[in-house]
């Protein structure tokens, strides 16, 4: 009798271990692992650990849209902008910052012009969104793009500019400076290559 009573326990025990449980666990593991790989890749691929992780969302011409994690602080974004500024002053090799040449047809300077838009929402850094903003035909896209900005770095032949927060239509005030402010906008000195050129005789 004891053998008969204990025999049903075996099937019930086997039913507790359903193959579906393993599949669900595997699916959850893959999902979590995918997110870990994405953010881990952003973290490990940054030039150094003193700047926040970021990824290049899209690039069109001289314009580059990059994305940082949503929890990135304004202070960390300012650190990232200062790193772009440092590269501009030292080497102008933004390839180290994962940016493709913006003026590839220029034999002397492959990063002569550059505009970097920083977002914490992936959608605004997508290629289609950047293109729609650059062609400037949709007012709602223009406004949304500017409002979603977390930071900006602009480099031209004559000056460079860095900003934190959205681009505002009006002038900066004490109230707006709490979330949007200009870090710097200064003229650039002559490139060192030009400075090294011998002066022509009068």
Bigger pLDDT: 196 or 5?
5
- Would you say residue 193 has pLDDT above 50? no
Question: Given this model, what pLDDT does residue 112 score?
Answer: 92
Residues whose CB falls within 8 Å of the CB of residue 119, separated by 6 or more in sequence, listed in order: 57, 65, 66, 67, 68, 125, 148, 149, 150
Q: Using one digit for the tens of pLDDT, what is the confidence trace for 47-106? A: 567 899 999 999 999 999 999 999 999 999 999 999 999 999 999 999 989 999 999 998
* Predicted confidence (pLDDT) at residue 10 exceeds the cutoff of 70: no
Residue 155 pLDDT > 80, yes or no? yes
Using DSSP bridges, classify how beta strands 63-67 and 114-119 pair: parallel, antiparallel or unpaired: parallel
Structure tokens at 168: 């505002």
Cβ-defined contacts of 134-142 (< 8 Å, 24+): 134/60, 134/61, 134/63
pLDDT reported for residue 42: 60
pLDDT in tens, 91-112: 999 998 999 999 999 888 899 9
Segments making up each domain of the chain, as ranges: 2-43, 51-195
Bridge-based pairing state of the strands 63-67 and 55-60: antiparallel
DSSP string, 129-198: HHHHHHHT--HHHHHHHHHH-SEEEEE-SSEEEEEESPPPSS---TTGGGT-EEEEEEEPPPPHHHHTSP
Closest of 148, 155, 161 to residue 66, by C-alpha: 148
- Residue 169: pLDDT band (50, 70, 90) is confident
In angstroms, rounded to a whole number, what is the distance separating the alpha carbons of residues 16 and 80?
Answer: 52
Distance CA 67, CA 57 (A): 6
- Residue 14, pLDDT above cutoff 80: no
**What pLDDT, in 10s, does the model give residues 19-39?**
556 767 777 788 777 767 766
| pLDDT class of 127 with cuts at 50, 70, 90 | very high
């Amino acid at each position: 009798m004891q053998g008969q009573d204990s025999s049903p326990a075996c099937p019930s025990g086997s039913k507790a271990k359903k193959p579906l449980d393993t599949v669900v666990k595997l699916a959850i593991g893959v999902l979590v692992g995918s997110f870990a790989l994405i953010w881990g890749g952003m973290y490990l691929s940054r030039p150094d650990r003193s700047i926040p992780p970021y990824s290049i969302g899209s690039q069109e011409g001289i314009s580059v849209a990059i994305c940082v994690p949503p929890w990135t602080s304004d202070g960390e974004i300012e650190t990232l902008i200062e790193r772009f500024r440092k590269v501009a002053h030292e080497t102008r090799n933004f390839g180290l910052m994962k940016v493709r040449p913006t003026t590839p047809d220029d034999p002397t300077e492959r990063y002569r012009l550059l505009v970097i838009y920083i977002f914490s929402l992936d959608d605004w850094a997508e290629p289609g969104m950047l293109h729609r903003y650059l062609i400037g035909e949709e007012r709602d896209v223009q406004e949304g793009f500017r409002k979603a900005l977390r930071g900006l770095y602009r480099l031209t032949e004559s000056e460079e500019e860095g900003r934190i927060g959205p681009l505002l239509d009006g002038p900066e005030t004490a109230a707006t400076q709490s979330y949007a402010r200009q870090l710097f906008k200064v003229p650039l000195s002559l490139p060192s290559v030009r400075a090294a050129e011998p002066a022509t005789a009068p």
